[in-house]
Structure 1
């Protein structure tokens, strides 16, 4: 149960006068009513947290302790809202690539209903003004601050898909049910805000059979009150566990009095955190940070190395073979982390084939060598493309990798030294400038490291 001390520890900015009940207090009372049990050792606050609401320890907490548990009846998803029957009946017509439309329609209904069961929960996000993912930045800001990071392109794709999804699926459905939704109230703007809300705060329950995950559609997203208040760091101290009746936040290592309780959103690079959630970790402390090398840059590097028309024709054949093998694609990327390649098989096979002589490649094609390539020793490949193995690659492989990393670095506006100098004057930066700078520095550090490890 929520304690009195917890209820009193709220942000004063949420009340407009001495008589208005604060949203966080209302939410905590709602938690009591729906059967959400909260440890007396923690409390929720906006003070002392890394961002917005967060959870803090009132006293020392041991590993394995349950911080809170929430019954499944208090989860907000397409099956638990007042429009669930309508959504179930129209299930086939609401199918889409993202799988989010039923939840978003549920949120459109619940967020705008004064009588919503989840009003005390949804009132914590008035107008979703706290959301600041790059989709809400101006196009000029994204161009200036995020060029080269991959975030700009991801946002453009998101906005295009959101508009298409609303116009093609959501709006026609709304018009069919004027008693439940209205195009004047449930607008594209609100829909976009709710997409950002789901992107930043929803959870997806893991599939039961991990071995068959690749063959199954993922479980639909759901909103988990209280769990979504916990902030994220890579080195987290709590984790959400799923049981048939409850979802439980469990302490995975000891937490000291006054420390913030952190959940994990998964192994997320800073560009992913910014894109999906609107925040970043300090680039030097995010152990999951990555940098992408567009596959097109590897091809560009290979073209640059050709010296004749016959070599160019051979390169086209090699690249077409890699496409047939599904090792490369038009918009694909090779991913590098702080310890080396994270797309080992694709990177290794691409380097191997692109650096073959004409005779070697002819023999490879004749013997259907791609079948053999897919069965190469995984451990050998991983060792070859980790930081310790990169300097030992063949010179032609290293030249190709280094040139591709160089092309990728050239896509940014500034070099790493200038960005680091800007970080030293962080007090002069806006929040958006600072977050974008952390993303750029993290990616450029990894790319510069790759260039250093592959130098002649």
Structure 2
């Protein structure tokens, strides 16, 4: 069945077939309570480790596990049928399978923690930066891990990972607020909610509303400027050429030049995400200014009815 699955090309989020693993624990195929059904992508099928139960079935003739191929949509005759390797961005597709998709909407851009530390060191002392990072970790926040590197993800719509926003916010806290938060963390056994308490006091809102508004509250002008710095620094890794240059080169590139073609696809898609990150930061700064203006406005007194 695995060679059959490999016959189909991949299309992200638009597959025509699903491969389903069905394990039956009874003699009756109609007993739905005793069967487990799991949808598999092509990557799962190819990497599935053989089990002792499966090895035994080849000897005894029993078939406790069945792999089914199911059409999930109508496909016209003569049209290519696609499978999926999962909802993967171009970086993952290129790394694992050696190709990219021009219109992939699941792309992400990674911002390394080292890059954040470089930004912090450009403004503050190393001791200051280490203390703020330590507080962030004591609040039980972490980035994503890949081997020995820690990083943050920027989604395809340009929205940064919440943990990154919180780290930037903590680094930029005024000293007295930082001391207060540091003391609160040291005094509590549970660190969860400490940053929410700081935000709720600053904005005079109840804690239960924080979860919905937290991203907006974190997007101070300084945090947004930090995001812009990170976007520019991350894009500098692509060299002196602009995204316009990359798009023009992609249009002229032949698909037979596989390495260059897929490299340009990845560069262009990631740089578009960085553009969206800049837009996110600019809009966030304006929204934060509006929140501050609303906060400063005096409450209107209702006129009493005579």
TM-score range, shorter chain: 0.5 to 0.7
What does the per-residue CA deviation read over 1:97-127, in whole Å, with 9 as the maximum and x for residues that have no partner? Answer: xxxxxxxxxxxxxxxxxxxxxxxxxxxxxxx
Q: Pick from 396, 411, 428: which aligns with 2:222?
A: 396
For the Cα contact (< 8 Å) 2:158–2:275, is it kept in 1? no
- Within a 5 Å distance, the mapping from 1:140-219 to structure 2 comes to none
TM-score (norm 2): 0.64
Structure 2 distance, partners of 1:375, 1:240, is 44
Unaligned runs of 5+ in 2: 24-64, 198-206, 286-306
What does the per-residue CA deviation read over 1:384-406, in whole Å, with 9 as the maximum and x for residues that have no partner? Answer: 65xxx69x921111011111111
- Within a 5 Å distance, the mapping from 1:246-261 to structure 2 comes to 246-261=66-81
Three-state SS of the structure 2 residue aligned to 1:454 is helix
Question: Kindly tell me: are residues 273 and 322 of structure 1, through their superposed partners in 2, closer, same or farther at Cα, counting changes over 3 Å?
Answer: same
For the Cα contact (< 8 Å) 1:297–1:404, is it kept in 2? yes
What does the per-residue CA deviation read over 1:435-454, in whole Å, with 9 as the maximum and x for residues that have no partner? Answer: 11101111111012212332
Unaligned runs of 5+ in 1: 1-69, 71-223
1:441 aligns with 2:294: no
TM-score (norm 1): 0.44
Structure 2 distance, partners of 1:441, 1:383, is 32
What does the per-residue CA deviation read over 1:70-91, in whole Å, with 9 as the maximum and x for residues that have no partner? Answer: 5xxxxxxxxxxxxxxxxxxxxx
RMSD (Å), alpha carbons: 2.9
Aligned residues: 223
Structure 2 distance, partners of 1:362, 1:300, is 23
For the Cα contact (< 8 Å) 2:184–2:194, is it kept in 1? no
Query: Residue 372 of structure 1: CA displacement?
Result: 1.7
Question: Kindly tell me: are residues 451 and 395 of structure 1, through their superposed partners in 2, closer, same or farther at Cα, counting changes over 3 Å?
Answer: same
1:432 aligns to what? 259
Q: Pick from 230, 237, 240: which aligns with 2:16?
A: 237
What does the per-residue CA deviation read over 1:239-273, in whole Å, with 9 as the maximum and x for residues that have no partner? Answer: 21110231112222222222222122112110110
Q: Pick from 398, 405, 408: which aligns with 2:234?
A: 408
2:156 aligns to what? 338
Structure 2 distance, partners of 1:258, 1:276, is 29
Structure 2 distance, partners of 1:240, 1:343, is 32
- Within a 5 Å distance, the mapping from 1:128-139 to structure 2 comes to none
Three-state SS of the structure 2 residue aligned to 1:405 is helix
- Within a 5 Å distance, the mapping from 1:312-351 to structure 2 comes to 312-324=126-138, 325-328=140-143, 331-341=149-159, 343-344=161-162, 346-351=163-168
Q: Pick from 231, 250, 256: which aligns with 1:423?
A: 250
Query: Residue 434 of structure 1: CA displacement?
Result: 0.2
Three-state SS of the structure 1 residue aligned to 2:19 is strand
1:372 aligns to what? 193
Question: Kindly tell me: are residues 227 and 263 of structure 1, through their superposed partners in 2, closer, same or farther at Cα, counting changes over 3 Å?
Answer: same
For the Cα contact (< 8 Å) 2:165–2:219, is it kept in 1? no
